[in-house]
Amino acid sequence: MSTPSSDVLPLLTRPSRFAPLWANWWIPVAIGLLILLAPWIEGGTPYAGVHWDKFWARITMLIGINLTLAVSLQLINGIAGQFSLGHAGFMAVGAYMGGYAVTAHGAAAPTDGDAVPWMNPGGALLFVLAVLLVTAVSGLIAYGLYRAVRLLARLHPKGPVAFMWLLLAWLALDVMLKTKGVGGVGGGPASNPLGAINLLGLTIKTIGASFTFLLDHSSPLAALLTNSIPASLRKPSTLIVSLLGGGTAAAIIGFVVGLPTLRLRGDYLAIATLGVSELIRTAITNSEPLGRATGFSVSTFAVEADASDGTLATYYFPWVYGVALLTILIVWRIQHSPKGRALQCLREDEIASSAVGIDVTGHKVMAFVIGAFLAGLGGSLFAHYDGYMNPKQFDMQRSIELVVMVTLGGLGSVPGTIIACLLLTLLQPTLQTSEQWMPHWMPHWTLSITSFANQYRLVIYAMLLILAMLARSRGWLNFRSRGQATLAGTT
């Protein structure tokens, strides 16, 4: 008797129950590590002789943010077996969305006394809602166009192509005539005989205008919302609004990208996500309110102006690690839920999975959107990391670093990702500060080795990645037994 795929059956037949407690030994270990680390960061030197200064406090924060990002990427790349190369793009969406919400609308300057509170969660909320509504409406329009094209295909096989050409020709004409005029005669609406049908511009204007009333952070509605929240809760609720806003925006973009590409073969997703993340970066670089290439200062309250080492951490630390733990929890629970089993099933063999009735595209899109949402959360936290960000921080290199973490940690293994994330994030600052911690009795050339390794860190990553795939394709840090969820079987 032949079975469809020997790898899929055990996944399907195993009852979906909670994993045994000891199987998740790493959760208490992680929590213990956090507890051990916490007093160090709270300021001062609780452990004798160790000066845990601002530098290392910042690195600890970075570890937390990277944990969120890497584990959410693990959901897409490892558990669902897709290959996203644009995680930095979702992170950028979250960071700029969250950062902008806080800066432009969440932190209104006090005018007279306490009449207008400094923290303005209502304004931030309205801004987030406005942006999400605009995105949703334009998404609906795009979806409508898509459906129209599909419908045309049913009416006539050449329909979609003809429609596309018409649309393209009209757009090209529109843009050319509108912006530069013909042959250097001079642009502007005056010389544009077709200005009346500038539908694209009209649509954008209409959508924009209909939601501008939401954008006023000192409007009565915003004030009402803000005043209904107790003063002590205004700061955290502004942060929550910006986090959720960033996450949702990233999730929407993930949905828009994922829906068409996840129907196709996996490698298209890699290119499409890479492309979209570059597109997002280009958009930010060209956007005046987001500070173009020079960068954007977030009026952050996680790092206060006169903060000593302590206040930096005490406010920011729980947020960063709270989100990281939440992410780990979500991904872990998804992995062991029926949906997660379906995901791992289609990772092993898509055709066999669809044969047993799993909605392949639906599950992939679900994993992708959740991953994007969590990446957006991580990004919103990253906005407060420096209080400053620029598009260069979200380039391909960051995506690749995350991919390296996920891959070295083992595709499909959350604990492995956590360890890899810790090690790799610590690697750079450790190598950078080698002159401080290297004992005097060590020979001098050890320092040259560390500085060399620091300089060519990315070359080493690349080698590790290739060697991992050639020698130990389930990741260096994947300690699972072979019986569990192997990556074999897909061709």
Partner 1 sequence: MPDWLQNLIQTLILGLSTGAIYALIAVGYTMVYGVLRLINFAHGDVYMVGAMTAYFVGTSQFNVFASPWYASVLLIIAVGLTLAFFGLKAAKAPAVLIEVVRALLIGAAAMIFGGLMSKLLTVSGITPWAKIGVALIAAMVICGSLGFIIELLAYRPLRKSPRINSLITAIGVSMLLMYGGQAVFGATPRSFPAPIMADPFLFKAGGISIGKIDALIIGVTFTLMLTLRHIVLNTRTGMALRAVSFRFDTAALMGINIDRIISFTFVLGSVLAAAAGVLIALMYPSVNPLMGLMMGLKAFVAAVLGGIGNIAGAVLGAILLGITEALVVTYIDGGSQWRDGVAFAILVAILLLKPSGLLGGKTVEKV
Using CB under 8 A as the criterion, which residues of the chain lie in contact with partner 1 when the complex forms? 77, 81, 83, 85, 146, 149, 160, 164, 172, 175-176, 179-180, 182-184, 257, 260-261, 263-264, 266-268, 270-272, 274-276, 278-279, 282-283, 285-286, 351, 396, 400, 403, 407, 411, 455-456, 458-459, 461-463, 465-466, 469-470, 473, 487-491
DSSP annotation of 18 reads P
DSSP secondary structure letters along 381-422:
HHHHHHSEE-GGGGSHHHHHHHHHHHHHH-TT-HHHHHHHHH
Q: Which of 98, 97, 76 is nearest to 85 (CA)?
A: 76
Cβ distance to partner 1 smaller for residue 128 or 406? 406
CB of 76 to partner 1, least distance (A): 11
Write out the two tokens for 210.
């209909």
DSSP annotation of 439 reads -
At which residue do the structure tokens 């389930």 appear? Answer: 474
DSSP annotation of 295 reads -
DSSP annotation of 103 reads I
Write out the two tokens for 475.
């990741």
CB of 468 to partner 1, least distance (A): 8
Cβ distance to partner 1 smaller for residue 176 or 356? 176
Cβ distance to partner 1 smaller for residue 58 or 178? 178
Cβ distance to partner 1 smaller for residue 330 or 464? 464
Q: Which of 26, 89, 4, 32 is nearest to 478 (CA)?
A: 26
Cβ distance to partner 1 smaller for residue 309 or 350? 350
CB of 470 to partner 1, least distance (A): 6
Radius of gyration of the chain (CA): 25
CB of 16 to partner 1, least distance (A): 24
Cβ distance to partner 1 smaller for residue 81 or 98? 81
Amino acid at the residue 343: L
CB of 464 to partner 1, least distance (A): 8
Cβ distance to partner 1 smaller for residue 19 or 293? 293
Say what the alpha-carbon torsion angle 446, 451, 454, 456 is, to the nearest 10 degrees.
-100
Compute φ and ψ for 436, nearest 5 degrees.
-80, -40
Cβ distance to partner 1 smaller for residue 84 or 380? 84
CB of 163 to partner 1, least distance (A): 10
CB of 362 to partner 1, least distance (A): 18
Task: Give the contacts of 13 (CB within 8 A, at least 6 positions apart).
Answer: none
Host H or E run for residue 296: strand 296-297
Cβ distance to partner 1 smaller for residue 101 or 284? 284
CB of 161 to partner 1, least distance (A): 8
CB of 165 to partner 1, least distance (A): 11
Q: What is the rounded CA–CA span in Å between residue 89 and residue 371?
A: 12
Interhelix angle 26-41/54-73, nearest 10 degrees:
150
